[in-house]
Structure 1
């Protein structure tokens, strides 16, 4: 009886507190949703890590702000020695700032080592005794062969510089340009000269520097009209100067005249050039392997060359281009680039489309790798050709070859090979069936690759010689 009364009392108490149960159930419900959101975020992060995180070991596109070194300041100094109380001025000029140079090197394979901001060394200040400051060290940026350097914006924004100068008062403008001798105050000096009626040589020096400033700005506008920087560093040790260092300041002997025998001022060094650049790496190789994910490109590259790319039975095993070298018995060599797998819509940058497609442009010979054991390898070929043509019109007209991989899967490979050859017969594209996994028919494939590459190289050599001959004839006519 007592037990039943206790149970009824407990039940009545629980019925009197429905809000607690409701809040508790809401908390559990919200926690379940939180767990689901965390799972979705974890999945998205894992995909992003696969496509971008691990692939950042290979960087083929980067934005860089390059700055030339500032020039060193000029020196205000006078010759002093025993029995010579007031000697002539002997302050040295400041050294010029270092330049920023981008140089192609075959020892580099990625842009990963570059920083976002690259600044050259500043020139040293001039010293007394007529000692000029030394030039600042140039900053040489090593990039892989095949890097394209583009200027994003003009070298300088003249309007912004003029607005900044307008905000400064006259005293700040002077201090930004001039270096004074100790206890030399230009305002006080000007006031003293005006009260005594003597000539102000400092104003003459300012007018001279204003004329020089106008000339430098005119020359900068002329250089900017020539166009933005664009350089294709396709050869080893090819280089381009992207930012020149600023000029060094003048020492006080520069302002020496027959009337003014003791100038007590010098100029500061000028700022170096600043440019915003984009560096884009396009792999240079004789042959480019193009295919859908998991078509066997990495396995094929490992079987025909000395490269050892990662191989696995899932898509997007390769996240960046992998270049291997094919060695022949007579010491002949050619390079093969394994382009990561393209998917439908890659020309619209679906997945990492543009990051992969840019490396196809420089290949002399395009090799389409299709899975002969798939349902419709001819449809895979059509997708690849469509993506290449949409990305760069005319790219599919380049010399090409079809490698029908996974021919060891006899159940479907034999019938698919006959249909594939029939569909590409009108385009006259050779089809070579191979089994990269078991290295079947690899010798025939390497022989065909060499034959095509030799013909293409010979055509390029003849075309280059023809262009040189035309240029030589034009120079003779001039």
Structure 2
């Protein structure tokens, strides 16, 4: 039986007659083709430092018109074209900054020509970024918040085209032999940060089985090995349901004690978790006293501050296929008093269909409460 096959739709209570409800929660779809065999790991980049350089304006032209009947018809040098802008545009087509180069340059404007021919204006360089991108200046100040689709921010303006000698013609100076060079475009540095990284973020200590779980639930290919190691960069996978709703699940780097004091990945990890809507605590049920893992994880989130500790949460006990996990799971239920505790085995594929249904239900419940609070 496939990991993604769910027998039927689940029915839940609605929040009122006039409220948006989630009466029918669709099942996760079964993937139609296998995963890629490419060995290169695909990392997720949610922060990027970029340098944006606007296009140089085109130079003006020095030219004098010569006709068969008048060899001194006068100056006819055209203006140069304007340089292109570097524009950041929020789009649903991208999810991260992997495609964004460190240096973004716009095209230069064309030079002016004879017979008052103006140079060609350069096309703007439009870089698509994910919705929720926060643009900070080099000093850390927020200069743009691309929170909605198609919202644009001009990161670097191109230089204006230089004037040709025809522009400088006056009554006193009828034959100017000067023109303007096209000025360079703006050169600025920014820090791009992704505010909304994923709907579901998996939190746990190193070697709790988060990468194995992401590998079993989605088409992502995080590194999975039989020896102990920790993920250093987040990986993303997508689960698609029958009603065409997609939820993004992030495999976050492992958390260590005193992370709020910047130990290990520290603040960088907690910033990853802060941009997730739903937090999925993955505990190693085979470890001695696994309930201490949950207490330490909660403590780190509370010490970090903000609303991170108040996010909707789910707790799963992984590695239930290990013999020692059965007794630990019963004690874990008593210690946590967590009604949403779910025992799974990411390696063997046990109880993953129920986990996908619970993730969707919790996410829809949180989304409905937000709509009720805003109305």
TM value normalised by structure 1: 0.62
1:139 lines up with 2:125 in the alignment: yes
Equivalent residues in 2 for 1:289-308, closer than 5 Å: 289-308=202-221
More helix by share: 1
- Note the C-alpha offset of 1:277: 1.1
Partner Cα distance (1:118, 1:332) in 2: 34
Equivalent residues in 2 for 1:425-436, closer than 5 Å: 425=337, 430-436=340-346
CA-to-aligned-CA distance 1:174-211 (integer Å, 9 cap, x gap): xxxxxxxxxxxxxxxxxxxxxxxxxxxxxxxxxxxxxx
> Partner of 2:238: helix, strand, or coil?
strand
CA separation of 1:133 and 1:460: change in aligned 2, threshold 3 A: farther
Which residue matches 1:439?
A: 349
CA separation of 1:89 and 1:82: change in aligned 2, threshold 3 A: same
Which residue matches 1:449?
A: 359
Report if the CA contact (8 A) 2:96-2:129 is conserved: yes
382-391 or 117-126, larger mean C-alpha shift: 382-391
CA separation of 1:328 and 1:98: change in aligned 2, threshold 3 A: closer
1:123 lines up with 2:109 in the alignment: yes
Partner Cα distance (1:321, 1:74) in 2: 50
Q: Which protein has the larger Cα radius of gyration, Structure 1 or Structure 2? A: 1
1:347 lines up with 2:260 in the alignment: yes
1:375 lines up with 2:285 in the alignment: no
1:421 lines up with 2:333 in the alignment: yes
CA separation of 1:64 and 1:305: change in aligned 2, threshold 3 A: closer
Which residue matches 2:76?
A: 90
CA separation of 1:331 and 1:103: change in aligned 2, threshold 3 A: closer
- Note the C-alpha offset of 1:68: 0.9
Partner Cα distance (2:96, 2:245) in 1: 26
More strand by share: 2
Please, which runs of 5 or more residues in structure 2 have no aligned partner? 1-39
Report if the CA contact (8 A) 1:283-1:321 is conserved: no
CA-to-aligned-CA distance 1:365-409 (integer Å, 9 cap, x gap): 111111122112222112222333334522010111111222334
Report if the CA contact (8 A) 1:153-1:275 is conserved: no
Partner Cα distance (1:128, 1:294) in 2: 70
Partner Cα distance (2:148, 2:78) in 1: 41
Report if the CA contact (8 A) 1:289-1:339 is conserved: yes
1:65 lines up with 2:55 in the alignment: no
CA separation of 1:324 and 1:64: change in aligned 2, threshold 3 A: closer
- Match among 59, 66, 80 for residue 80 of structure 1: 66
Partner Cα distance (1:265, 1:254) in 2: 10
Report if the CA contact (8 A) 1:282-1:358 is conserved: no
- Note the C-alpha offset of 1:60: 3.9
1:319 lines up with 2:232 in the alignment: yes
- Match among 304, 312, 317 for residue 399 of structure 1: 312
- Note the C-alpha offset of 1:418: 4.1
Please, which runs of 5 or more residues in structure 1 have no aligned partner? 1-53, 155-227, 467-478
CA RMSD of aligned residues (A): 3.0
399-408 or 145-154, larger mean C-alpha shift: 145-154
TM value normalised by structure 2: 0.78
Report if the CA contact (8 A) 1:400-1:429 is conserved: no
